[in-house]
């Protein structure tokens, strides 16, 4: 019987248990290349950061770009920084995507998915709203038109803090 328990524990431990980056925990720091030099998350403390992970093959991601552009232009002056982390293995695909969907937000490149693994994304796209202290305030998986209002309200709320 005891053996069975051990066996059960062994079985459970074999399945990789992934814990996604959680709300109210500090956002893990990273440094990634962008089109204008590198970006480091910790250097953005004091700003509200909307960290978005996307790829060219993901259609909700395509939908989120016009919204992110609007948010950046509306709240950029109040201290909002949007970082769109691209997870395409081939940069050409991202470049092609950005030619079709132009953006004003900062695009960072993580072709090996290192930061994506660090944040344990559960789906595409996933976004993290990080407050001025560098704490994750909200995580969001997917992007639907109906999500926009709640996300914007949260951004406004964090900008006031």
Partner 1 sequence: MWKVLVLMGAALTALSGCAFEKVQPWDRDLLAQDKMQLVPFPLDNFYDEHINFSKEAASGGQGVGGGGCGCN
For 118, counting Cβ atoms within 10 Å of its Cβ (0-12 exposed, 13-18 middle, 19+ buried), the class is middle
Closest to partner 1 by CB, 7 or 66 = 7
Q: Shortest Cβ distance from residue 91 to partner 1 (Å)?
A: 14
State yes or no: residue 52 binds partner 1 (CB under 8 A). Answer: no
Interface residues for partner 1 in 76-95 (CB under 8 A)?
87-89
Interface residues for partner 1 in 96-155 (CB under 8 A)?
113, 116-117, 121-124, 126
Q: Shortest Cβ distance from residue 15 to partner 1 (Å)?
A: 6
Size of the site for partner 1 (CB under 8 A): 23
Q: Which stretch binds partner 1 (CB under 8 A): 36-44, 49-57, 69-77, 96-104?
A: 49-57
Q: Shortest Cβ distance from residue 24 to partner 1 (Å)?
A: 23
Edge-first strand listing for the sheet containing 80-86:
37-40, 31-34, 106-109, 80-86, 48-54, 126-130, 136-141
State yes or no: residue 18 binds partner 1 (CB under 8 A). Answer: yes
Closest to partner 1 by CB, 106 or 126 = 126
Q: Which long-range contacts (CB under 8 A, 24 or more apart) does 115-121 make?
A: 115/30, 115/32, 115/53, 115/85, 116/53, 116/85, 116/87, 118/21, 118/28, 118/30, 119/20, 119/21, 119/28, 119/51, 119/53, 120/18, 120/19, 120/20, 120/21, 121/20, 121/53
Task: Report the relative pairing of strands 106-109 and 37-40 from DSSP bridges.
Answer: unpaired
By CB under 8 A, name the one of 21, 55, 71, 158 that touches partner 1.
Answer: 55
Binding site for partner 1 (CB under 8 A): 3, 6-7, 10-11, 14-16, 18, 53, 55, 57, 87-89, 113, 116-117, 121-124, 126
């Amino acid at each position: 019987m005891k053996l069975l328990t051990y066996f059960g524990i062994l079985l459970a431990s074999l399945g990789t248990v992934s814990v996604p980056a959680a709300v109210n925990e500090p956002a893990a720091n990273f440094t990634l290349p962008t089109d204008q030099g590198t970006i480091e998350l910790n250097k953005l403390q004091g700003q509200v950061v909307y960290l978005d992970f996307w790829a060219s093959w993901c259609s909700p991601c395509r939908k989120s770009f016009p919204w992110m552009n609007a948010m950046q232009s509306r709240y950029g002056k109040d201290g909002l920084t949007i970082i769109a982390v691209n997870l395409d293995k081939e940069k050409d695909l991202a470049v092609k995507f950005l030619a079709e969907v132009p953006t004003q937000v900062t695009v960072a490149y993580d072709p090996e998915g290192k930061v994506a693994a660090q944040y344990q994304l559960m789906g595409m796209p996933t976004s993290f709203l990080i407050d001025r202290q560098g704490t994750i305030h909200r995580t969001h998986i997917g992007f639907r038109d109906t999500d926009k209002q709640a996300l914007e309200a949260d951004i406004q709320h964090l900008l006031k803090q």
